Structure formats: C-alpha cells, structure tokens
C-alpha cells in the first residue's frame, strides 16, 4: 500500500531491488535511451495506469495524460508530446484510451459548474452536440455516459488524424497508426473500438493539408 509520502521511497527501493535481481543490467540499459513504439494518450484518473494495465515495461510507452483524454489543437503540451513522439522517437502507434465512468466526461455531460475545468471539458460538450441524436435516444444515464466516453475517443482519434503532425507523417510515408480504446474499470479489460486509422483517407476535405514540402 502507498499511504504516506515516505511509502513512495520505501516502495521505490523494493522495486529497484526486485527488478535488479531479475535483470541486473536493466537500469544501465534503459539509461542509454528510449525507443518506444507507442504513444499513449489517456485520462489522468489514478485508476487507469497505462503501463500496468498493458503490461508495458519502462521504455515501452511514451505517455501523455490529461483529464478526459482530450486532444486539443491549441494545447502546447499535447502537441509537443505528439510532435516529439512522431518525429523524434518515431513511434508507430498512437493510442487514445478513455475509460468507462470517466468523471470528466460525466461533468461535461451535465450542467453543473465545477470551476476552471469546465473550460477544458467544453470540448466534450462539442462531442455530445455532434452526436446528440444518438445520445439523446439513450435513457439510462450510465449507458449514455459510457457511449459518450466511446464517442469522445472516436472524436479524439479523428482530431489526431487532422493534426499537421499526423498528416505530414502519413504524407512522408511513415508507418503510423492511430487507435482508440476504452478501459473498463469494473473488469480491468481494454475494449478496442476498432477505429484504427492508417492513412488520411478518413479526413474530411476541409481539414486536409497539402504536403508540407512539395
């Protein structure tokens, strides 16, 4: 258990000991550099730890997390992570992972003011508006929330494909796939939404960018 600040250091030492017993050169090797194949964009929620639930080891996932896993085109933090992952690390897969029962998505679906975060979550209200016919037809609150969680992933995946970073990678012939999935807190299982994108054919014309260098 991790209850106190000091627990973090006690647990850290235990972890180093366990890892080093199994692989004595683990930290030496890792300190030489990283070559992750995956960029993970997920929710900040403490119950959705990217490495744990995928069995990934240190060095295997490049991670960006924010509340309700939103891809916002003016978010310099997300854009910097995306640009570095695609153009420097040359990851081959970008994953946007949401989770059922997401508190951020629930706030966006409601009408209560929570504070500053309302501005961040406003983008999820746009997702609701885009899909309001389908969502308004669902009576059960939890089913509606879970569907909005899925649609939010769908729209964030779409948003990623419209970035200049992803479009340029594709026009340069880089092998880059963008995936959407949802984590189920109740079962621990990942649900692949089968909306993986491998080229710019799915992008509506208005978002299309001509190749950067012609």
Coil vs helix vs strand at 172: coil
Segment 33 to 62, residues that bind Zn ion, using CB under 5 A? 43, 45
Segment lying near Zn ion (by CB under 5 A), choices 102-110, 115-123, 164-172, 181-189: 102-110
CA 160 to chain centre: 10
Specify whether 184 is catalytic: no
Specify whether 192 is catalytic: no
- What x/- string results for residues 103 through 122 when contact with Zn ion is judged by CB under 5 A? -x------------------
- Size of the residue set binding Zn ion (CB under 5 A): 4
Q: In whole angstroms, what is the distance from residue 124 CA to residue 83 CA?
A: 23
Residue 19 half-sphere exposure toward CB, CA atoms < 13 A? 14
Q: In whole angstroms, what is the distance from residue 124 CA to residue 126 CA?
A: 5
Nearer to Zn ion, 39 or 107 (CB): 107
Segment 126 to 165, residues that bind Zn ion, using CB under 5 A? none
Contact 43, 120 (CB under 8 A): no
127 contact partners, CB below 8 Å, separation of at least 6: 108, 148, 151, 152, 155
Question: Is residue 102 within the footprint of Zn ion (CB under 5 A)?
Answer: yes
Instruction: Write down the catalytic residue from 97, 102, 146, 197.
Output: 102
Specify whether 99 is catalytic: yes
Binding site for Zn ion (CB under 5 A): 43, 45, 102, 104
Q: Hey, which residues are catalytic here? A: 43, 45, 47, 99, 102
């Amino acid at each position: 258990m991790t209850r106190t600040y000091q627990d973090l250091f006690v647990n850290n030492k235990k972890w180093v000991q366990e890892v080093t017993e199994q692989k004595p050169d683990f930290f030496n090797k890792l300190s030489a550099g990283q070559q992750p194949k995956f960029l993970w964009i997920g929710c900040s929620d403490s119950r959705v730890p990217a490495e744990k639930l995928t069995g990934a080891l240190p060095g295997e996932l490049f991670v960006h997390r924010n509340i309700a896993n939103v891809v916002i085109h003016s978010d310099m933090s997300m854009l910097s992570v995306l640009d570095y992952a695609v153009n420097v690390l040359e990851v081959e897969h970008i994953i946007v992972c949401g989770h059922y029962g997401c508190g951020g998505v629930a706030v966006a679906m409601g009408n209560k003011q929570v504070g500053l975060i309302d501005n961040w979550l406003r983008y999820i209200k746009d997702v609701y508006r885009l899909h309001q016919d389908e969502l308004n037809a669902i009576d059960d609150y939890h089913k509606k929330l879970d569907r909005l969680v899925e649609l939010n992933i769908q729209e964030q995946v779409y948003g990623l494909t419209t970035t200049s970073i992803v479009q340029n990678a594709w026009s340069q012939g880089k092998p880059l796939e963008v995936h959407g999935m949802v984590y189920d807190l109740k079962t621990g299982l990942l649900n692949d939404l089968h909306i993986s994108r491998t080229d710019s054919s799915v992008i509506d014309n208005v978002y299309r960018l001509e190749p950067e260098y012609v």
